[in-house]
Structure 1
Amino acid sequence: MPPGSLLTEEPRLMLKRFNPLCRLAVVAALALVGLVAGPAPQAGAAAPGVTAQGTTLLTSRGHTALTYTGYMNGESFQQEGITSYRGWQYAVYWDSSSHVNISRRQLPSGGWQNLTLTDYTTTSTDSHNVISLGISRADGTIHLAFDMHASTLRYRRSVAGLANDPGRFSWTADAFGATQSQLTGSTVTTVTYPAFIDAPGGRLQLALRTGTSGSGDEVLYEYAGGSWSHLGRFLDGVSNNQNAYLFGIEYDGGGRLHMTWTWRETSNASTNHDLMYAYSTDLGRTWRNNSGAVIGTTGSRSITSASAGVKVWSIGQNRGLINQESQVVDGSGVVHVLASHLPAGAASQSDFTTARETAVLVHYHRDTSGGWHQTYTPFLERSSRGDIGVDSGNNLYVVSGDSKTHKLHIQTASRSSGWSDWTLRYTSAAIYFSDPLLDHAHLRDDNLLTIFTPQYGGSRIDIQDWKVTA
């Protein structure tokens, strides 16, 4: 059983966390979407339930530096920090000796096996410098990108077959090659936010930001046939002194690549604004806006803030909109975005930290006809960010922290309600911090909710396991 008690606190009780003026604004906003109108959800509510299966210790020696309101282990933009593949689960973290670690366990209940890559030592305490993990389905290589914040690429990969046939190989550092700063023959510089993308046909792709906060581009690489190729820039922010912060970039089951993001005008997070969307039907080579018109070609004609039809929801500056929360695409091709910002009726606030104190989680989704929808929830995070996942029945699960209370929450919503019945299913004891991460593949494929969640202080990282009951 995870620490703390299971709760079934309903959304309108959560509203007590707001001051009176903000509470009125939230209630008004929620009433517009029908979230708090009517009686409280009962035990038989449609929103899925969760049943604790246990908590395991990933490490008690995690990196403890706290910067930018988080740790180097557990940040929302890790794609991925924990994932499952062919009956094994993998998780990555920095240890207290500043080394990259990768652990694995055989599902459903094997013990964690850890290896430490001691030939590279970070000097960073910057929570942007996370470790991201990707797996090539074609050759079974495991890929790691790490320790970057507007700095030189740090990348390494395993021997072929390590993930496809785990029993053939010893789980030791010898299975991984040396740290590299190149993918295609030239050093990759000034990069941040590596995101591995599991692509059709056994391809593995890697999106990177080049540039800096307030002036950055997104570029795309592709791994196939045992080597990387550079596809080019696909999002241009530098030309207009902006930065596109991705909520997520991933393929649906039909091979369409979906991407959502927000623009930032300066290095100040208060200038985050708007929800943007584009998709690709040819492996990220060309890009289309929400209505299907071609608006960009990777490597030659980048998407910009002036590209027609990419803004799908207006969110102004000074709304406490945090960048890079989360995105997931369900089995029907519906795109779901987890964002958080001030409620509709609340006054704008130019101080980002102050705005985050009353910012609430908001669910946006794009239906299969291209229409976008917004549902406010009453859940708070302060400076934390949450993660959103989907099960095999297209029900939604959000794990979120609260940087003030140090509590972890699980919220769920059902497909049958149109994801309007958001219900709090669990609140932990006051022991967690930074951003919790979901194993999206495990939830989607096996209806099991696994949460990577650092405890406050950073040294201990728990892995919580839950069974979902839709």
Structure 2
Amino acid sequence: MLPDPTYTVLGCDPTNRKCRINCYAFQQDAIVTFQGWQYAAFYSPLQAAAEPLYVHLARRRLLEPPHNQPGGWEVLALIDYPQTVDDGHNTVQLGISPGDGTIHLSYDHHCDVLRYRYSCRNLALKPSEFSWTSSNFTPTLDCLPGLPASHEAFHYVTYPRFCTVDSDLLFTLRDGKAGLGHDHLYLYSSTSGHYSYIGQHLTGIQSNPYIHGLSYRSGRLHLTWVYRGFVPYDGWDDLADTKHKQQAGPNGAENNHDLCYAYSDDLGKSWGNGQGKVIASSGSKSSTIDNQSEGIVAFRIPKGSGLTNQESQVVDLDGGVHVLNRTSLSPGSGGNSSGAIHWKHYHKAPGDGGVWVEHPLRPAYGSARGRLAVTKTGDILVILPDADKGHMHIEKSTRSSGYADHRAVWSGEGLWGEPLVDLPRLEKDNILSLLALADTRPPGHQPGTKSVVVLDFKLYK
């Protein structure tokens, strides 16, 4: 069993919104450690005000002398950009470029113009030399540095993500609406300080791909996703239409289908399937992955099976790929439903041609998505929320078992949202840092207010 965590409060979660805007599974790195400092990004109002919300960025030194305990959090608010749209898609994303120490943020999108800013060089490389102030960041930009604002994909952005690759940083986004969209990939060079456009790596045919994440290990970029088929509705082809921005329907999760996989050994210029065959490369006839690309489907899962979008993926220390999702299908049933929806741990063995297997987990109550994480010893942690009751459960799947076992190791109450994990800290220090919402409150706020918190579990004695 895991010991109970310590937790610290970063700020107040918004109190008067219909839609939650913090702690969503598609925030790939809302909490991340870099060179001994931990960073977290979230939305919060100022003081006790309800509106508007502002992007808040927090940092702390993890080994503060003389006792080598984490230092206190420093939190800055970027008050030049008020966030006012009540939409759960409009989260904030965080990325750090190792080569030049720049911190990157992208925020407030649901089929909107790109909103992005980044810091001065060396802010994360030499943090003790910089005061923690908004003056270290650019204003909100409508383009990526080095690319023009006229770049077509910047006009209709949803779900941006960052992914660290060696000294540089990848950035991806969806261009288009639910059920009718494509994914684009960009590379930030820490040497030049500019982005280059890699291309439209995922193309939806009367559908759009929803990625579980981008994972980079040992020179290989891994990508898993599900498709959402498109259902036409009145006004869908009207450029002024906004019905697709509602939280559910007409193109909702009931139209999700198939779990797919591809990888790239050249940072997205070409892609191979699970059998090691190149299926897309720049300058070739097939320059993008689409629904008909050979060998991309790991599990054929029909619509209406409970499959969700953007749950979680990680790559283990040996290069095996792990995906968390949920379905109502019984394992090995050939597509027959068991009725109840259960989380599933899907696992692909390392290497080209590695076999995919699935492991059923506990029932999935509610729509809140879970998280996967890799420990320092190579085990997999599965963090599962029960959003209806404010419970959170952690299970462990061991490297020694080939990830076939799953054992409950912790359960807690008063926790909400979709848990986010600091993957670098867990893998380096064997400390699990979770970003979540909790039934606590900062001084001066009303009882019942949820707070944005960090829970720290020590996985060693």
Aligned residues: 407
Contact persistence 2:396–2:408 (CA under 8 A) = yes
Q: How does 1:396-407 map to 2 (within 5 A)?
A: 396-407=380-391
User: Are 1:249 and 2:217 an aligned pair?
Assistant: no
Bigger helix share: 1
- Matched with 2:199 is 232
Which of 178, 184, 191 does residue 157 from structure 2 map onto? 191
User: Cα 1:395–1:164, aligned 2, differ >3 Å: closer, same or farther?
Assistant: same
Which of 22, 27, 33 does residue 73 from structure 1 map onto? 22
Contact persistence 1:233–1:299 (CA under 8 A) = no
Q: CA deviation at 1:379?
A: 4.1
The AA in structure 2 aligned to 1:206 is F
Contact persistence 1:318–1:348 (CA under 8 A) = no
User: Cα 1:422–1:379, aligned 2, differ >3 Å: closer, same or farther?
Assistant: farther
Deviations 1:231-284 (A, max 9, x none): 1100011xx2101000111111x1100000001102121111111000001111
- Matched with 2:242 is none
Contact persistence 2:397–2:406 (CA under 8 A) = yes
The AA in structure 1 aligned to 2:372 is I
2: CA distance, partners of 1:245 / 1:361: 18
Tell me the secondary structure at the aligned position of residue 427 of structure 2. helix
2: CA distance, partners of 1:412 / 1:66: 34
Contact persistence 2:13–2:22 (CA under 8 A) = no
The AA in structure 2 aligned to 1:312 is A
User: Are 1:363 and 2:345 an aligned pair?
Assistant: yes
Tell me the secondary structure at the aligned position of residue 436 of structure 1. strand
What TM-score results when the alignment is normalised by the length of structure 2? 0.85
Q: CA deviation at 1:197?
A: 0.9
Deviations 1:361-404 (A, max 9, x none): 11011102411111111242421000100012110112221122
1: CA distance, partners of 2:8 / 2:449: 16
Q: CA deviation at 1:335?
A: 0.7
2: CA distance, partners of 1:455 / 1:299: 50
Q: CA deviation at 1:52?
A: 2.6
User: Comparing 115-124 with 334-343, which one deviates more in the overlay?
Assistant: 334-343
What TM-score results when the alignment is normalised by the length of structure 1? 0.83
- Matched with 1:467 is 458
- Matched with 1:423 is 407
- Matched with 1:37 is none
- Matched with 1:128 is 89
Q: How does 1:348-387 map to 2 (within 5 A)?
A: 348=337, 358-369=340-351, 370-387=354-371
Which of 164, 168, 179 does residue 140 from structure 2 map onto? 179
Which of 37, 42, 52 does residue 4 from structure 2 map onto? 52
Deviations 1:312-348 (A, max 9, x none): 1111111111110000011111111111121416965
Deviations 1:23-65 (A, max 9, x none): xxxxxxxxxxxxxxxxxxxxxxxxxx32234111111354652
User: Cα 1:242–1:342, aligned 2, differ >3 Å: closer, same or farther?
Assistant: same
Contact persistence 2:13–2:437 (CA under 8 A) = no
Q: Which has the higher contact order (CA 8 A, sep 6+)?
A: 1
User: Cα 1:192–1:63, aligned 2, differ >3 Å: closer, same or farther?
Assistant: farther
The AA in structure 1 aligned to 2:344 is V
- Matched with 2:315 is 329
Bigger strand share: 2
2: CA distance, partners of 1:192 / 1:451: 24
- Matched with 1:340 is 326
- Matched with 1:205 is 170
Q: CA deviation at 1:205?
A: 0.7
Unmatched segments (≥5 aa) in structure 1: 1-48, 350-354
Unmatched segments (≥5 aa) in structure 2: 46-51, 64-69, 231-250, 440-447
Contact persistence 2:41–2:57 (CA under 8 A) = yes
Q: CA deviation at 1:418?
A: 1.7
Q: CA deviation at 1:450?
A: 0.6
- Matched with 1:450 is 433
- Matched with 2:116 is 155
Contact persistence 1:231–1:299 (CA under 8 A) = no
User: Cα 1:458–1:212, aligned 2, differ >3 Å: closer, same or farther?
Assistant: farther
User: Are 1:259 and 2:214 an aligned pair?
Assistant: no
When the two chains are superposed, the root-mean-square deviation of aligned CA atoms in Å is 1.8
Which of 90, 99, 113 does residue 54 from structure 2 map onto? 99
